[in-house]
A and B are shown apart, each in its own frame.
Chain A
Amino acid sequence: MAVSNVTFYERVEEALHDRQLQTALDISTTRFTTGRQNALAALPEAEALRDHARRIRAHTIAHLDRYLAQFADSVERVGGQVHWAETAAEANQIVAELALSRNVKNVVKSKSMVSEELHLNQTLEANGMKVVETDLGEYIAQLAGEKPSHIIAPVIHKTRQDVADLFRRKLQATDADLADVPHMTALARRVLRSEFLQADMGISGANFAVAETGSICLVTNEGNGRLTTTTPRLHVALLGMERLVPTLEDLGVMLQILARSATGQKTSVYTNIITGPRRTTAGQPIEPDGPDELHIVIIDNGRSQILGSELAEILYCIRCGACLNACPVYQQIGGHAYNSVYQGPVGSVVTPGLYGLDPWHELPQASTLCGACREVCPVRINIPRMLLKLRSETAEAGLNPDWLKRGLRLYRQTVVRPGWYHLGGQLTSWLSRKIADNGWFKKLPGPLSGWTDHRDFLAPAKKSFSQRWREEREQ
């Protein structure tokens, strides 16, 4: 994955000073978290459903090899074709070859996170194709030349005015087109409708894939997924290899919690279950619509590496984005600061899991370990435990700053020697009270200055609890 030269800290600084971003984040994360809470509170069996969903995901991931084989068989039985891609490069090559061999010129895409991992658009464009994102948020990001900043809400960082300016520049929108949000969406809809009609290939992701039936399930709120997968003659679905559920019944469980956790909806506006291409009898179509060919590309791209590690549980993720909305860090810095396809708590585990700790080791540190992510996760993934695990791997790999290593070594040596520990405490207390202003510090030296950049620091007490206990109780 491409890594920019701008450091994590610089991106954070930029995000924190971007007032518009701060307003947008505040509004949208609040709306999503409130929506989620209300939706789950209205469902008496919500907690039991979450437990059930977790069991389904755990079972599937533990037997992934078996379910992948079953899924591939089922897809072929219903007339689809399955391709296996170990790396992003292989996946890109498979899709490009499918397109080139079928003389594809125009591609429409519905939202797919895995395609962001692949940078598929660049590959197709380099092969002379026009690629248009059709999810409204993704379309706006594409027009702006930006990356999505949230798993389910790609342009959560943009305001209506940003989008209006963009439409004026890129789509020659008139004042009438930009009068209000319905007019703006109507404009996007007109533009996208002609793209759908011209397209010869539709690329989709898959929220879930059902092993027993060979179906893929796509949830959207705009209907663009349905057009992408039915209008063009060729449909290519990109599937992260962990996205399986064993049966349609299991899919039903997932669908009950996905939209509720993501946006607070009971269900998304469109739920598509696609099983095979347009059906034919003796070469003649017997269905009114659907693609002539359906190809499903099953993508590993680092997932089997995660599967074999202590991070395997992160593969239970159903990409609802609830952990992003609930995360106090994401709420402040937004998605772009992470510089990764996957942001927030889940992104801080998945990104180093897929691509390695170097250079992604800052992401697992960007957490207070407050546990809000684990609390809202529909499948109860213990994200804080995995962030801690990644921090321990970071320490073992020697990727931490020297002051921290040295400081903690000294701390450990002191902690296990109560004599040193209390002597050190008394010296610090004595020294602190010489320099502190009325018992508080306005400025601390060295790495500790981070604290006093934002709050005062309390000086230690004159006598510790231990001293007082010893003096008052043990005489």
Chain B
Amino acid sequence: MTTDIKTVQLFVTCLIDKFFPETGLAVVDILEALGLTVEFPLAQTCCGQPAFNAGFWDDARAMARYTIDVLAQSDAPIIIPSGSCGDMIIHHYVDLLANDPHYAAPAQAVSTRTYEFTQFLVDVLGVTDLHSTATGCVAYHASCHGLRGLGLKTQPHRLLKQVAGLEPKELPGSEECCGFGGLFAVKMSQISGAILQRKLDNIEASGADMVVGTDVSCLMHIAGGLRRRGSAINVKHIADILRER
């Protein structure tokens, strides 16, 4: 490791907290195996993105201020195993609170020390080989906010490439949206469902037996679609793969 970072703060995201606790534990495992101390502020909840995307910006601001306060308990780099929540905290907090006399500066400070998980590993720590092993053919789905919001073009691929026993499969339309879009999936479910079918067709055509991504939100959407189809293809967060040694 080339940095002097000793401690990191984990913002685990509400979905991993409530639906995928194992993924959160995998992230902790990986960071600790790299010699880092992981802090987890227990008061953390949700970053507020659902309200922001729905246009309820006063509600989103309240949640942003709350999260900034929670994260202000330490100055350590903040690690988020989600490109979408990462994009929210890194970009949209600053925008939402730009005119807030008390929170504009803290929002900027939090933004500066926040990293998506794979971005932190590859770009900050300079680590790609975690000595992980796995079996199977894997297709990578690039979640939109990580890809286009945070520029996660290569980092997840570089990490997956080092996993022994994993055979990468080309996913056609890998960078196309899965149709999730948060509340969009509920409010305009027929469009969301149609976009999802295209993604599922591509996944099935790829020949992979496992889909991997950086965001459990999209992965939960894809997994729900695959399950409805009766497909046996597994869906995993990248941390779940990288943890296996």
Residues of A within 8 A of B (CB): 9, 12-13, 16, 328-329, 331-333, 365-372, 374-375, 388, 390-396, 400, 404-405, 408-409, 411-412, 414-416, 418, 421, 425, 428-429, 440, 447-448, 450-451, 453-458, 460-461, 463-470, 473-474
Contacts and interface: CB of A to CB of B under 8 A. Distances in A.
B175 to A, nearest CB: 8
Interface of B: 12, 16-22, 24-25, 40, 42-46, 48, 50-57, 59, 62-63, 66, 144-145, 147-149, 176-177, 179-196, 198, 220-221, 223-225, 227-228
A470 B42 contact: yes
Contacts of A456: 224-225, 227-228
Contacts of A473: 40
Contact of B185 (A388, A451, A458, A465): A451
**Top 4 closest A-B pairs, CB basis?**
A454-B193, A391-B55, A368-B181, A450-B189
A454 B222 CA distance: 11
A412 B224 contact: no
Contacts of A461: 18-22
A473 B21 CA distance: 14
A395 B16 contact: no
Given A447-B186, A456-B228, A374 B148 contact: yes
A455 B42 contact: no
B4 to A, nearest CB: 24
B110 to A, nearest CB: 16
A13 B191 CA distance: 8
B214 to A, nearest CB: 15
A13 B24 contact: no
A418 B70 CA distance: 11
Contact of A415 (B46, B55, B195): B46
Contacts, number: 194
B184 A468 contact: no
B54 A415 contact: no
B45 A418 contact: yes
A375 B148 contact: yes
B42 A466 contact: yes
Given A328-B179, A451-B185, A409 B52 contact: no
Contacts of A458: 19, 220, 223-224
Nearest to B92: A388
- B16, B44, B193, most chain A CB atoms within 10 A: B193
Interface of B is mostly: helix
Contact of B188 (A365, A374, A400, A429): A365
Main secondary structure, interface of A, reads helix
B14 to A, nearest CB: 8
B17 A450 contact: no
B191 A450 contact: no
Contacts of B192: 368, 450, 454
A412 B64 CA distance: 10
B45 A13 contact: no
B184 A455 contact: no
Given A415-B48, A458-B220, A328 B195 contact: yes
Contacts of B225: 454-456
Given A16-B191, A328-B177, A429 B186 contact: no
B186 A448 contact: yes
B45 to A, nearest CB: 5
B53 A369 contact: yes
A451 B186 contact: yes
Given A16-B190, A371-B148, A465 B55 contact: no
Contacts of B45: 414-416, 418, 421
A453 B144 contact: no
Given A368-B195, A392-B57, A418-B43, A465 B188 contact: no
Given A457-B224, A465-B25, A416 B180 contact: no
Contacts of A393: 55
Contact of B12 (A408, A440, A465): A465
Given A416-B63, A451-B185, A372 B149 contact: no
12 contacts: A12-B188, A366-B188, A368-B177, A374-B148, A391-B54, A394-B55, A405-B56, A408-B56, A408-B59, A447-B186, A450-B188, A467-B21
Contacts of A333: 191, 194
Contact of B190 (A12, A404, A405): A12
Contact of B181 (A369, A414, A465, A466): A369
A366 B190 CA distance: 11
Nearest to A462: B21
A447 B187 CA distance: 8
B181 A416 contact: no
A375 B151 CA distance: 11
Query: In the complex, which of the residues B16, B147, B184 has the most CB atoms of chain A within 10 Å of its own CB atom?
Result: B184
Given A372-B177, A408-B59, A448-B186, A366 B221 contact: no
A408 B54 contact: yes
Nearest to B61: A412
A435 B184 CA distance: 25
Given A388-B52, A469-B24, 8 more contacts: A328-B195, A332-B191, A365-B188, A370-B148, A412-B59, A454-B228, A455-B228, A461-B18
B42 A469 contact: yes
Contacts of B190: 9, 12-13, 16, 453-454
Contacts of A395: 54-57
